[in-house]
């Protein structure tokens, strides 16, 4: 995962907190119901988002909240 002039590298080393939260959101939405944890905590999941992307993230968080407890920081 890299952006701009950054060389590719491990996600945990180059992604921001918000990027990691959005990646986790996408991964959790792709899991079968029985594999989704009872509670998920997202930190800065909306960081750096605006307009349509922020609205889409909100819809996806609501979708996930119908399957488990979602806490946003």
33-64: pLDDT as tens digits: 889 899 989 888 888 888 898 898 899 899 99
Kindly report the pTM of this predicted structure.
Answer: 0.70
Q: What is the mean pLDDT of the chain?
A: 85
Of 34, 26, 64, 3, nearest to 11 (Cα)? Answer: 3
Residue 18 in domain: yes
Q: Spell out the residues 6+ positions from residue 72 whose beta carbon is closer than 8 angstroms to its own.
A: 41, 42, 45, 46, 61
Q: Classify 39 as helix, strand or coil.
A: strand
Residue 46 in domain: yes
Structure tokens at 22: 């959005």
What is residue 68's predicted lDDT score, i.e. its pLDDT? 93
Residue 33 in domain: yes
Residue 4 in domain: no
Residue 23 in domain: yes
Residue 65 has pLDDT above 90, yes or no: yes
Enclosing domain of residue 18: 11-72
| Residue 3 pLDDT class (50, 70, 90 cuts) | low
How many structural domains are present in the chain?
1
């Amino acid at each position: 995962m890299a952006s701009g002039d950054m060389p590719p590298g491990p996600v945990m080393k180059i992604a921001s907190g918000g990027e990691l939260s959005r990646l986790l959101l996408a991964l959790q939405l792709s899991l079968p119901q029985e594999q989704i944890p009872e509670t998920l905590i997202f930190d800065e999941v909306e960081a750096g988002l605006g307009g349509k992307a922020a609205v889409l993230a909100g819809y996806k968080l609501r979708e996930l909240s119908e399957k488990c407890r979602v806490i946003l920081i």
